Amino acid sequence: MPTVKDVAKRAGVSVATVSRVLNNSNKVSEETRQKVLKAIEELGFKPNLLARNFRRDKSNLILVILPTIANAYFARVVKGIEDTARKYGYGILLCTTGNSPEIASDYLKLIERKQVDGAIIASAKISKDALLEIDPKKIVQACEFYPFLDTSCVLIDHKKAFFEIVDYLIKKGKKNILCAIGNEGIPSEEERKEGYRQALEKNGMEFKEENIIRCRYGSTEIYEKLKTLICSKKYDAVACSSDLMAVGAIKAAKAVGLKIPDEFAVTGFDNIMISRLYEPSITTVAQPMYEIGEKATEILISSLENNSFSKERVILPHDIKTRESA
Amino acid sequence: MPTVKDVAKRAGVSVATVSRVLNNSNKVSEETRQKVLKAIEELGFKPNLLARNFRRDKSNLILVILPTIANAYFARVVKGIEDTARKYGYGILLCTTGNSPEIASDYLKLIERKQVDGAIIASAKISKDALLEIDPKKIVQACEFYPFLDTSCVLIDHKKAFFEIVDYLIKKGKKNILCAIGNEGIPSEEERKEGYRQALEKNGMEFKEENIIRCRYGSTEIYEKLKTLICSKKYDAVACSSDLMAVGAIKAAKAVGLKIPDEFAVTGFDNIMISRLYEPSITTVAQPMYEIGEKATEILISSLENNSFSKERVILPHDIKTRESA
DNA sequence: CTGTTAGCGCCTTCAG
DNA sequence: CTGAAGGCGCTAACAG
C-alpha cells in the first residue's frame, strides 16, 4: 500500500503538500494539485484512516446503543441516526443490548478509548456508574430520558401523548379503560401511566392501580393476562404502550369474542408498520421516529464539533392516528 | 489523558512493560504486573484505541451493508452478525443502502482505507466495479449470492425452498397458483421463480409467465395488482416471496371476499414476526436469519484472522411453517 | 505557496 | 523478565 510519502516522491513534492491536497486545503497551486492527483491516481493511493484518525484524535464514529432493532420502532430511529451521521461524514457503530446494562457499559467505554467520538443512547438501560467518567457532551439520549444522565435529549412528551389517547377513548364513550404499560423503572412508561391517570381524573373517573397491566414493551405477552381480565366483560377498552401490545390485546379481545371497537377498543403506541397493516388497523400515537434519530444526531455532532456544550432538551410533536381499533 | 508513558513513569517501569501488561503478555513477573496495574488504576489510564488500532493496522470493525433494517428479516440477520462479532471482539459499522449501489460503494471504500477490517454484504445491491480493488477474502455475502462477487457466502437454497412451498400448495389441491416475486435482477428472486416453475412442472402443471407478479420485496404493494387479478376467480393461491407481500395478498383476498385458505391460499417467505401475528397467520418458509448472520460473521473473522482464504459456500437449512393462510 | 520536521500513543523487535 | 528505541501514516506548526 502506497503512503503519502510515496505519492510525494512520485509527484516531486513534499508530504505536506500531498496532505494538503488530500484535505482540500486551498493553499495549493492548481498545477501542484494536479501533479499530486496524478500521482495518487497512478499509485492507487488510498489514505489510511487508521493513521488519519489517530493523528486527528477523532474516529468519526458514533456509537448507537439501543435495546434491539427487531422492533420496527428502533429500526426507524436508527435510520434517522444513520442518514444524519452519514450526511456529516460519520459512521455508526451499532450496539443492541437486549437491555443488558453490562453490554451497554462495555460499549460506552469506547468513548474514553476513542474508538468512537460520542454516543446516542436510545432508550437502552444504562447503569449510572458506567457514565461517571464520560463527558456528558459526548452523549445524547433519544426516545427516553433518564434524568440521572445529565445529557441532551430528544423525545416526545410521553405523558401528554398517553393523556391524549386515553382522553380520546373516553370521548368515544369508553367507561372502564385498562392501561397496559411496560415494565417498571423506565421513565417514559411511568410518564405514560401518569398521562393515563390524568386523563381519567380530568374526566371524573377513578384511577385504580389494579387496572394497570404490566408487560414487556416489545411483545404480545399481554395476551394471556388480558384474556383473563376481559372475560368479566367489565372493561371496554385498553390503552397500550406499544403497537405490539395492541396486537396482543386485539387477539385477546377476538379470542373472548368481543367486537372491536364497539365492545372493546384498543389503542397502541409508536405507529410502526404493523399498526397500519393489522386487521383491524390500530389507532395509535405516531412518534416521529426518524426525526428523533435525526435531531439527536445533529445535536451530538454539533456538540462534538463545536466543543460548546449546551444541554438541549428537545420535545418533538406526536400525532394521534385514528384507525379501526378505537 | 494519561498515556502508557505516564503509567510507566508512575510504576517505575518502561513503556514496553506497560504494553505487555495491557496485552496480557505472560512475560511479566507478577510483582511488576501489580505495580503497573496499580499505576493504571491510580491514573485512570485508558488505552487509546485510535493509537492501538493504527499501530496494529487493524480496526476490529466489520462493515455490515444491507438494504434496510426496517424489514424484520434483516434486523434479525444483523443481530446474528452483531452478537457474533462481539464474541470475537469486533464492532459493527452499519450501512443501510436503500439499495443504492453508490452508498454501498462509498462504504466499501472503508475497507481499503482501513476504517474497517472487512464487510458482510447482506443482499445489498452492489456495483461490480466497486469491488475491483477489494480483496475478496475481506468480504462475505449473506442471504444472497451475486456470482460476479467471488467471495464466501451464507444463504439458504432459495430455489428448493420455493419449490417446496409451491409443492405444498399443490398437495393442498390448489390448481391455479400465482407467484409473487421481487423485482428483477436479484438472484434469489430468480431462483425462487425457478423453484415455482419446477414445482408446477413436477406436478404436470403449465408454467405461465403471466402468472408471475413482480413487486417490491419489503412492501404490500402487491395488493392492488392482485386484487384486480383475483376478481376473475381464476386463481386459488399465491406464493409470495416475502411475508409482507403475503400480508398484502391476504388483504386483497379479503377485499375481494375470498375465503382464506379454502378459496384462496397465501404463502409468505422469511418467517418474520408478522407472519405469526397476522390473522390469518401466514404459512411461510422460515429462514435461519440469525444463523445466517452468525455463520457469515464467523467465516469473515476467520478469514481475516487466519489470513487463509478458502471460499466457502454455506447453504443453511430452511423450514416450512404451516399456519392458517395455506 | 511549499518544504522540513516533530510528534500523536502504542507495540514490538532486539539487546541485555 | 525488562528496557531502549524505532516507527506505523498522517497532519500541522513553523520556517522559508
Spell out which residues of chain A touch residue B75, defining contact as CB-CB under 8 Å.
69-70, 75
Above 70 in pLDDT, residue B106?
Answer: yes
User: B4-11 and B30-43 are packed helices; what angle lies between their axes, rounded to 10 degrees?
Assistant: 120
> What is the per-residue pLDDT for B272?
96
Per-residue HEC secondary structure of A78-134 comes to HHHHHHHHHHCCCEEEEEECCCCHHHHHHHHHHHHCCCCCEEEEECCCCCHHHHCCC
Above 80 in pLDDT, residue B300?
Answer: yes
Residue A119's contacts (CB-CB under 8 Å, 6 or more residues apart) are A62, A63, A64, A65, A107, A108, A111, A138, A139, A140, A300
Q: What is the pLDDT confidence band of residue A27, given thresholds at 50, 70 and 90?
A: confident
> What is the per-residue pLDDT for A219?
87
Give A188-205 pLDDT, tens digit per residue: 999 999 999 999 999 999
> What is the per-residue pLDDT for A231?
86
Contact check, Cβ <8 Å, B82/A95: yes
Give A89-108 pLDDT, tens digit per residue: 999 999 999 989 999 999 99
Helix/strand/coil for A66: strand
Rounded to a whole number of angstroms, the distance from the CA of A199 to the nearest CA of chain B is: 31
Q: Which three cell numbers stand for residue A217?
A: 414493551
Average pLDDT of span B50-75: 96
Above 90 in pLDDT, residue A111?
Answer: yes
Contact check, Cβ <8 Å, A109/B54: no
B148 burial type by CB count under 10 A (0-12 exposed, 13-18 middle, 19+ buried):
exposed
Above 90 in pLDDT, residue B306?
Answer: no
Spell out which residues of chain B touch residue A68, defining contact as CB-CB under 8 Å.
79
Residue A107's contacts (CB-CB under 8 Å, 6 or more residues apart) are A63, A65, A93, A95, A97, A119, B91
The answer to whether B10 CB is within 7 Å of strand D is: no
Helix/strand/coil for A213: strand
Above 70 in pLDDT, residue B86?
Answer: yes
Q: What is the pLDDT confidence band of residue A53, given thresholds at 50, 70 and 90?
A: very high
Contact check, Cβ <8 Å, B50/A114: yes
Q: What Å value separates CA A131 and C1' D5? A: 38
Dihedrals φ, ψ of A81, to 5°? Answer: -65, -50
Above 90 in pLDDT, residue A129?
Answer: no
Give A162-188 pLDDT, tens digit per residue: 999 999 999 999 999 999 999 888 999
Cβ–Cβ < 8 Å for B244, B220? yes
Q: Which three cell numbers stand for residue A32?
A: 501542484
> What is the per-residue pLDDT for B307?
66
| Domain residue ranges in chain A | 1-46, 49-156+289-317, 158-286
Fold of B158-286: Rossmann fold (3.40.50)
Q: What Å value separates CA A41 and C1' D16? A: 30
Give A251-282 pLDDT, tens digit per residue: 999 999 999 999 999 999 999 999 999 999 99
Above 90 in pLDDT, residue A133?
Answer: no
Report H helices in B206-272: 222-230, 243-256
Contact check, Cβ <8 Å, B220/A277: yes
> What is the per-residue pLDDT for A218?
85
> What is the per-residue pLDDT for B310?
86
Which chain A residue has its CA at the smallest distance from B289's CA?
A70
Q: Which three cell numbers stand for residue B109?
A: 471504500
**C13: residue with closest CA to C1':** B16
Spell out which residues of chain B touch residue A47, defining contact as CB-CB under 8 Å.
113
Q: What Å value separates CA A112 and C1' D5? A: 28
Contact check, Cβ <8 Å, B53/A57: no
Chain mean pLDDT for chain A: 94
Q: To the nearest 10°, the Cα dihedral for A254, A258, A263, A266?
A: -20
In a 13 Å sphere around the CA of B92, the CA atoms on its Cβ side amount to 30
Contact check, Cβ <8 Å, B72/A72: yes
From the candidate CATH numbers 1.10.260.40, 3.40.50.720, 3.40.50.10490, 1.10.357.10, the one assigned to the domain spanning A1-46: 1.10.260.40
Q: Which of B315, B294, B306, B314 is nearest to B64 (CA)?
A: B294
Q: What is the pLDDT confidence band of residue A307, given thresholds at 50, 70 and 90?
A: low
Above 70 in pLDDT, residue A234?
Answer: yes
Domains A49-156+289-317 and A158-286 share a fold: yes
Total number of residues shown for chain B:
326
Spell out which residues of chain B touch residue A91, defining contact as CB-CB under 8 Å.
93-95, 107, 110, 115
CATH 3.40.50.2300 for domain A49-156+289-317:
yes
Global pTM reads 0.95
Indicate the residue of B93, B107, B279 with minimum beta-carbon distance to A93: B93
Chain mean pLDDT for chain B: 94
